[in-house]
Amino acid sequence: MQNIVKRIIAAAFWLLVWQALAMIVHNKVLLAGPAETVATLGRLMGDNSFWQSVASTTGRILAGFVAGSALGIVFGYLSYINEIVRELLRPLVLALKSVPVASFVILLLIWFGNRNISVIIVAMVVFPILYTNTLEGLVSTDKKLLEMARVFRMPREREIRYIFLPGLLPFWQGAFKLAIGMSFKSGIAAEVIGQPLGTIGNGLYQAKIYLETGELFAWTIVTVLVAFICERVVLFLLVLPSKK
Amino acid sequence: MTIEIKDVCKSFDGRQVLKDFSLNIEEEHSYIITGPSGCGKTTLLRLILRLEEPDAGHVKLLGDYKYPFINSGTVFQEDRLCDSFDAVTNVTMVNRRVYRENAISELKNLLSEDELHKPVRELSGGQRRRVAIARALAVPSDILIMDEPFTGLDEASRRNAISFIREKQGTRPLVITTHDTSGLEFGRIIDMGID
C-alpha cells in the first residue's frame, strides 16, 4: 500500500513538472501540456479508426513478438544441445543485436513493402533476446540435477518440466520484460518509417507532419499503456505453470 | 545379475584414487564401503553407475541384463532434489511408475505428514536426506546405491532409515558408502582405507 502511495506521488510530481514546463513554454506546437494531451486522447478515442489503429499495431507487434520468442527459444535449445548450431548462429545473433533497426526497416521496405514490416522487425528484435537468455538459462542448469535425471532415467518431458524450466524462468522473466518493451519501440519505429495506413506509427507520423504535439503525446501514452498491459499479461502467463 | 569390478584404476588430475580395485556385487548381498575421505568411495559408486569410466580395468554387468547401464535407486552424496517442489513431487517426478499414493506411503516411513507437502528448500538437511532415501527406494530398480545416505541424520532417524532400507531392499544388491558402520553389520564391510 505504501509503495502505491509513493508511486502515485512520484507520478503526480512529474505531471506537475510537465504542466509547469508547458505553461512556461506556452506554445502548443513545442510542448502540449497534460490537460491538452488528455483532451486530445479523449477526442481520438471517440473515433473508430483510433481503435482500429491500436488493434492493428498491437496485433502485428504481438505476432512478431510470439514468432521471435518461439524462434529464440527453439534455437536457444538447439544451440544448447549442438555446438555447431551455436557457432553458426553466433554471427547472426551478433548482427541482429548490433545493426540499427532503421537499416533493417529500409531493407525490408525494399524487399517486402510496408504492410507487415513491424511483424518482421519485432521478430528480429525479440529473437536475439530470447535466444541469448534461453541459452544462458540452459547452460546454467544444475549439472548435478541433470546427472540425477540420467541415473534415474527420468523421462525427457519431466526433465524439462522439473529441472530446466525452474532454472529458465528467471532468465525468461527478464528477457520477456525487456523484449515486450523493445517490441513496441521497434515495431512503432518501423511503422513510422514504413507508413502502413491505420497504425499507431502512421498516427504519430501524421501528428509530426501537422505539428500536432498533443496528438503525438496522446499516441505515445496509448503505446505506453498497451505495452504495459501486454507486459503484465506475458509475465502472468509465464508464472502460471509454476502456480499450478 | 552380477556387477564385476576388476582391477579398476582411476585418477583425477594425476592423483590416483583407485588402484587395482576388484569386487563382485551380487544379488541379495549388501556391501558397506568405508574408509577415510578421498579414498575413492564416491568414485567407486560413480564407476558402477557409469558416470565415470575407469582408466584401467573394467566394470561389467554379467548375466542377461538388457540395458547397458544399471537401473539404480540412488542416493547421491548431495541430496540432488528439485528445491521448489515438495517431497512427494521429488519422489514421483523421476519415474512414471511411481504414483503419488505410493510416494506418500513411502515418505511417511521417514517424514511426518506436514513435511511432505512443503517445498524441499524449506526442509532441514536431515529431512532432505530422508526425501533422497525415499526417492531411491520408491523407484523400481535392480540395485540400491547410496553415497553417505545418513549424513545429517540423528541416531533415531538413522536407525529408522537403516531398517526402512533393509525392508525395501528385497533381493536387490545394496551398496552403501559411510564413515560410520554402526548398525550396518548385516552387510559385507569393505574398508578402502586399508591397502
In the predicted structure, residue A244 carries a pLDDT above the cut 60: no
In the predicted structure, residue B5 carries a pLDDT above the cut 90: yes
In the predicted structure, residue A1 carries a pLDDT above the cut 80: no
User: What pLDDT shows up at residue A242?
Assistant: 60
**Cβ(B107)–Cβ(B168) below 8 Å:** no
- Main-chain phi, psi angles of B26, to 5 degrees: -120, 160
- Main-chain phi, psi angles of A195, to 5 degrees: 60, 40
User: What pLDDT shows up at residue A241?
Assistant: 64
User: What pLDDT shows up at residue A116?
Assistant: 83
Work out the percent of chain B whose per-residue pLDDT is above 90.
89
Question: Which spans in B39-99 are helix H?
Answer: 41-48, 87-92
Mean pLDDT, range B63-79, rounded to an integer: 86
Return d(Cα A226, Cα A15) in angstroms, integer. 20
Intra-chain end-to-end CA distance of chain B, in Å: 28
* pLDDT confidence bin for B163, thresholds 50/70/90: very high
- CATH superfamily label, B29-45+69-191: P-loop containing nucleotide triphosphate hydrolases (3.40.50.300)
Q: Across all residues in chain A, what is the average pLDDT? A: 90
Mean pLDDT, range A68-77, rounded to an integer: 96
- What distance in Å separates residue A147's CA from the closest CA in chain B? 8
- Please judge whether A148 and B96 are an interchain contact, meaning their C-beta atoms are less than 8 angstroms apart: no
Chain B residues near residue A154 by CB distance under 8 angstroms? 93-95
Q: Is A243 on the interface with B (CB under 8 A)?
A: no
Range name among A21-35, B27-41, B49-63 with the lowest pLDDT average: A21-35
Q: How many residue contacts between A and B have a Cβ separation below 8 Å? A: 40
* pLDDT confidence bin for A216, thresholds 50/70/90: confident
User: Which of B90, B91, B93 would best serve as a mutation to test chain A binding (most A beta carbons within 10 A)?
Assistant: B93
Q: Across all residues in chain B, what is the average pLDDT? A: 93
Mean pLDDT, range A44-50, rounded to an integer: 86
* pLDDT confidence bin for B12, thresholds 50/70/90: very high
- What distance in Å separates residue B50's CA from the closest CA in chain A? 9
Q: Please indicate whether residue A68 or residue B71 has the higher confidence score (pLDDT).
A: A68
Work out the percent of chain A whose per-residue pLDDT is above 70.
98
User: Which of B70, B76, B82, B84 would best serve as a mutation to test chain A binding (most A beta carbons within 10 A)?
Assistant: B82
Mean pLDDT, range A24-51, rounded to an integer: 85
Question: pLDDT per residue over B74-117, tens digit each?
Answer: 999 999 999 999 999 999 999 999 999 999 999 999 999 999 99
Work out the percent of chain A whose per-residue pLDDT is above 90.
51
Question: pLDDT per residue over A173-207, tens digit each?
Answer: 999 999 999 999 999 999 888 888 888 888 888 88
Q: Which sequence spans correspond to the domains of chain B?
A: 29-45+69-191
- Please judge whether A151 and B72 are an interchain contact, meaning their C-beta atoms are less than 8 angstroms apart: yes
User: Structural domains in chain A?
Assistant: 37-243 (1.10.3720.10)
- Please judge whether A162 and B74 are an interchain contact, meaning their C-beta atoms are less than 8 angstroms apart: no
- Please judge whether A148 and B89 are an interchain contact, meaning their C-beta atoms are less than 8 angstroms apart: no
Return d(Cα B51, Cα B59) in angstroms, integer. 12
**Cβ(A30)–Cβ(A213) below 8 Å:** yes
- Grid cell of B54 as nine digits: 575407469
In the predicted structure, residue B195 carries a pLDDT above the cut 60: no
Return d(Cα B176, Cα B167) in angstroms, integer. 15
Q: Is A149 on the interface with B (CB under 8 A)?
A: yes
- Please judge whether A145 and B82 are an interchain contact, meaning their C-beta atoms are less than 8 angstroms apart: yes
Distances (CA, A) of B140 to A119, A215, B103: 51, 68, 12
**Cβ(A192)–Cβ(A101) below 8 Å:** no
**Could you tell me which chain A residue has the CA closest to the CA of B69?**
A151
